Amino acid sequence: MAREFEPDIPDIVIRRLPLYVRTLRALADSDVANVSSDDLADEIGVTAAQIRRDLSYFGKFGKQGKGYDTRSLEQAITQILQLDREWPVALAGFGSLGHAIAHYRGFGPSSFRIAAIFDRNPDKVGEPLGEIAILSDQCMTSEIRRLGIEIGIIAVPAAEAQEVANAMIDGGVQSILNYAPIVLKTPPNVRVREIDPIWALQTMTYYLGVGS
Amino acid sequence: MAREFEPDIPDIVIRRLPLYVRTLRALADSDVANVSSDDLADEIGVTAAQIRRDLSYFGKFGKQGKGYDTRSLEQAITQILQLDREWPVALAGFGSLGHAIAHYRGFGPSSFRIAAIFDRNPDKVGEPLGEIAILSDQCMTSEIRRLGIEIGIIAVPAAEAQEVANAMIDGGVQSILNYAPIVLKTPPNVRVREIDPIWALQTMTYYLGVGS
DNA sequence: TAGATTGTTAATCGATTAACAATC
DNA sequence: TAGATTGTTAATCGATTAACAATC
């Protein structure tokens, strides 16, 4: 049975776990072998109680009086998140945004690898990227299914985003990173996260100006 | 008195408002003159009760039996968010990520304009962007203050991000869009939003695989 | 008027925090 | 052992939802 329907771990807890991994990795890389939930909380900017509560959903990872072994807690959470493997990702849209994503250096050291790129006009977008051909949108569903891809990135204009999402989902995608400024309609087993810098800025202007 | 300390409007409500603006604008542009909270909720993927509750923090915008005038509700929320003006923005980091941000087409029709660009090595990054010179990080605080900039975008490596944030804040920045994968330490009057595609992907792998 | 839909209150739901016994 | 810190429960806090009187 798929974990989408795991009832008792709140999504908001899952969303914090990558932050723990990142922070623990930085600590371990700085040769900090142990942390208490208090120290970790300070580092991250949350409360120690929240960290302990979050971890308790998954097991016992610490030692009373001692705290957590940074490296092994990092590895434990990495496993929980299934980040101890490489995930092939499909990128739709190879305009300027798609190019920037494809060349984004952050993917290198991560668990994600762009394994297929699609564009409505594959001829017009110029060079393929390294070994990855740019394919037509029409191949999307079948190619995603062929490669067993479960993660898609949408970098097409808003007007085309829903159609692209549908094609990805038909191919088996269950996680979508959406750069288009539109709310995608998706079935309940598909998760979408938004990347929208303008939106993010718009949530902060409310607080600006006036006094200071 | 600054609205940072406005006690009674939850930040989570503020974060939803841009979504309402965007959706109302799309409806108005499609010549839909009126919407009920029910229709709007369907469009956005939230509940009608939530929309009515959110709006009630700011006033009365609808008519019983009729719903909301799309255009005027859009404008009302735009005003609440202070999006009816143009905000100059400072961009720190003009590497490949900074370039992509500076050229991002989404800024064009938005309320935001990149007004200053900074890099640690302004000589090495090549061409200035249009009319905007690339200045040294050392000018950041004074130039931000001179231009009255209140919004900053951080696109530098993680190791430099905190220092850059400090310089921005010293210059008067109160809103930061952070592309660096690090938790910034900031005073309580400064708001930070994260843009981190890898993090976003990492919050979804938990649900993948296994069944389907 | 009759029907529809708002604005608002109270009830529910869920997440965070505080506290502390267990124990390393 | 004494001190520190976990894991967990119960209390608190805050956000969402349901319901409905008001009214267009």
My answer on whether A27 and A75 are in the same domain is yes
Contact between residue B171 and residue B187 where contact means Cβ atoms under 8 Å apart: no
Which domain does B61 fall in, by range?
A: 3-80
Predicted confidence band of residue B3 (pLDDT cuts 50, 70, 90): very low
Q: Which of A56, A80, A104 is the last residue of a domain?
A: A80
Q: Count CB neighbours of B123 within 10 A.
A: 8
Using the Cβ of A133 and the Cβ atoms of chain B, whether some distance falls under 8 Å is answered with no
Q: Do A48 and A119 belong together in one domain?
A: no
Q: Which of B24, B10, B7, B22 is nearest to B62 (CA)?
A: B24
In a domain, A205, yes or no: no
| A contact residues 113-132, partner B, Cβ 8 Å cutoff | none
pTM: 0.94
In a shared domain, residues B94 and B173: yes
For residue B206, being part of any structural domain is answered with no
Cα distances (angstroms) measured from residue B60 to each of A23, B64, B69: 45, 11, 12
Q: Identify whether the C-beta of residue A183 lies closer than 8 Å to the C-beta of residue B133.
A: no
Considering only the beta carbons, identify the residue of B14, B17, B197 that sits closest to A106: B197
B18-31 pLDDT tens trace: 999 999 999 999 99
SS3 content of chain A, % helix, strand, coil (to 5): 45, 20, 35
Stretch B172-179: mean pLDDT, rounded? 98
Q: What is the pLDDT of residues B80-108, one digit of tens each?
A: 999 999 999 999 999 999 999 999 988 98
Which pLDDT belongs to residue B7?
Answer: 52
Query: Nucleotides on strand C with an atom closer than 7 A to protein CB?
Result: 2-9, 14-19, 22-24
CA A81, CA A28: separation in Å to the nearest integer?
19
Mutate to test the interface with B, among A191, A201, A212 (most CBs of B within 10 A): A201
So what's the pLDDT on residue A7?
52
Same domain, yes or no: A92 and A53: no
Q: Per the structure, how many domains does chain A have? A: 2
Low-confidence ranges of chain A (pLDDT < 70): 1-7, 210-212
Is there a domain that residue B136 lies in?
A: yes
Q: Residue A102 maps to which CATH number? A: 3.40.50.720
Q: Over the stretch A44-57, which tens digit does the pLDDT of each residue have?
A: 999 999 999 999 99
Judgement on whether residues B39 and B130 belong to the same structural domain of the protein: no
Q: What is the pLDDT of residue B153?
A: 98
In a shared domain, residues A95 and A194: yes
Of A200, A182, A201, A202, the closest CA to residue A192 belongs to A182
**Per-residue pLDDT averaged across B137-143, rounded?**
97
